Structure formats: C-alpha cells, structure tokens
C-alpha cells in the first residue's frame, strides 16, 4: 500500500499571511502541532493548539480557541466565541471569552479569567486528541476523503459563509516559528502575497507569488519561488533543484543541483549549481 502523508504534517502558510512585530496574522484558522514554539502572538479565526505548545505573545481568536494540556501562553488569550482549555495550561495574562468556557484541572491564569457564557470545569481536550488519532487512522487505511471532511469540521465549522474556502495556517509538531527562523522537519508551502520575517528551514519549500521573505531559504530537497517574489537572503538546497519563476528576485546567493530561471528572474549573489542551469526566454518588447 502506498503511504499517505498526514495533511497536518506540513507547514502551510496561506495567502496573505503576515508576520508582524508582535503577531502572526491570518484571515483563516490556525492549527499548531504539539510541542511547537511560536515566538510571536497568534491572530486568526479559530486557534487550535496541541499538547505542550508555547506561544510567546497574545492569542486572539475571532471564533473558538482550543489549547491542549501543558500549553504555555506568555500574554493574554482573547476569544470571540468559545474556549476549551486543557489541564495544566499556563496563561501569564488574562483569559477573556465571549462565549462558553470549558476548562481543565490545574490551569494557571495569572491575571484571572472571565466568560460571558457557561463555565464548565472538566478536562475537555481528550476529545480533540481522539479526533486527531482517528484522523491518522483514516489516513493509514486510505480513507483520505473522510479524513479531509474531518479536518473541515475541525477548522471550518465557524467559517464565514462568504469565504468558506480560506485555507488554515498549519504549523506542524515540534516546529519553531519566530522572527529569527521558521524551522520544520516537513515540507513548507507559503502562499501568495505573504510577508514573513525569518529564515525558512524545511524539507522542501514552495513559495507563492508576490511574497516578501526577509530571510534565507534552506531545504534538503527542491525549492520553488513564485512570480514576483522577493527573497531577502540566500537560497540553498542540499540535494534538490531550484526553480525561480518570472520576475522573482533572490537578494543573495543560490546553491543547488539544477537551476531553472524564468523570464526576468534575478539573482544578486553568486550561483553555485552542480547540475544544469536553464534560462527560459519570454517575449519582450524591443525598444
């Protein structure tokens, strides 16, 4: 049987995501895998964090927020709808919930909490853990359509009817995301019109169009840079090929196996290619 990749086992940065000074902002949902460290605050529609996630800023969720056990949040947690807080979660600031609050044992909220709806003290998070175990089982037996429906229920149940297809921001387990670096051991996909700070380290990297990445890209395998994107740093791959498409620009060195350059692509630094260098030509007006 062919292997199936867990759709949560990849860094996915949706279109229009911005890493600002204090927060990582996206219009859709945010899924954070267990034991990850986020060196920003997080702002999104629904925010779901796995076990032992550390967030160094404020969490602001327009919809629901679910924090699994042992999570640590350095500032406030502000929730527009319902909150589900697992046991032994630590929040250094305040917890404000516009809807209902399910809260586990031994939760430490240093500046107190308030909820406008029902407050239930129990351990709500094992249900979420069970859902993810079930998801992995579905993928193992090849039920990918059923697994995708489950993911949609988890992250899109409160989606705006006018924008139902907004892709979630997915940060895989054991990742580090910060102003200095984005480090994952999985593939990384960055959408269009994103503005990120930090060096990106991943298995493979695909960057969309019209992005600004203020840092370098380093991957074990292939790297693709979309039309009009600017990479303010070096681009390096250990074993893979690099494709730099139309009018993209690398403000640094490029090191790879094969290199393909689209029309108008620019590299400001040194090129080190062990294989072939291909330069595509496009129709341009002659003056």
**What is the spatial distance between Cα 197 and Cα 20, in angstroms, rounded to a whole number?**
8
Q: What percent of the chain has pLDDT over 90?
A: 69
CA distances in angstroms from 6 to 3, 10, 168, 173, 191, listed in the order given: 10, 8, 15, 12, 19
Give the Cα separation of 225 and 206 in Å (integer): 6
Say if residues 13 and 31 touch (Cβ distance below 8 Å). no
User: Is residue 147 scored above 90 in pLDDT?
Assistant: no
pLDDT at res. 219:
97
What's the whole-number mean pLDDT along residues 205-232?
A: 97
pTM over 0.85: no
Model confidence at 60, in pLDDT bands (50, 70, 90)?
A: very high
The number of residues making up the chain comes to 287
pLDDT single digits (tens) 227-254: 999 999 999 999 999 999 999 999 999 9
Rounded Cα distance between 72 and 92, Å, is 8
Q: For strands 108-109 and 205-207, give the pairing.
A: unpaired
Over residues 61-105, the pLDDT tens digits come to 999 999 999 999 999 999 999 999 999 999 999 999 999 999 988
**How many CB atoms are closer than 10 A to CB 241?**
18
| Mean pLDDT of all residues in 144-154 | 63
| Residue 77 per-residue DSSP state | E
Q: What does the mean pLDDT of the chain come to? A: 86
């Amino acid at each position: 049987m062919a292997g199936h990749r867990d759709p949560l086992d990849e860094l996915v940065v949706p279109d229009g995501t911005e890493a600002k000074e204090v927060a990582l902002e996206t219009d859709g949902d945010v899924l954070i895998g267990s034991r990850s460290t986020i060196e920003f605050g997080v702002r999104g529609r629904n925010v779901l964090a796995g076990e032992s996630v550390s967030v160094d800023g404020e969490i602001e969720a327009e919809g629901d927020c679910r924090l699994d056990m042992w999570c640590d949040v350095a500032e406030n947690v502000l929730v527009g709808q319902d909150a589900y807080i697992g046991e032994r979660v630590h929040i250094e600031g305040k917890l404000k919930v516009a809807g209902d609050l399910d809260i586990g044992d031994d939760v430490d909220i240093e500046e107190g909490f308030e909820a406008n709806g029902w407050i239930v003290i129990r351990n709500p998070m094992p249900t979420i853990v069970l859902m993810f175990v079930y998801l992995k089982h579905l993928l193992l037996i090849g039920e990918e359509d059923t697994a995708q429906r489950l993911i949609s229920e988890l992250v899109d149940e409160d989606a705006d009817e006018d924008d139902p297809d907004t892709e979630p921001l997915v940060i895989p387990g054991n990742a580090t995301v910060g102003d200095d670096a984005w480090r994952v051991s999985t593939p990384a996909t960055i959408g269009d019109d994103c503005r990120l700070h930090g060096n990106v380290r991943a298995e493979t990297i695909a960057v969309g169009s019209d992005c600004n990445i203020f840092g370098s890209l380093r991957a074990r395998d292939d790297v693709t840079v979309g039309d009009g994107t600017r990479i303010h740093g070096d681009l390096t791959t250990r074993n893979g090929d690099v494709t730099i498409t139309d009018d993209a620009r690398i403000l640094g060195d490029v090191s790879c196996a094969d290199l393909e350059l689209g029309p108008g692509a620019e590299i400001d630094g040194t090129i080190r290619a062990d294989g072939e260098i291909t330069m595509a030509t496009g129709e341009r007006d002659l003056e």
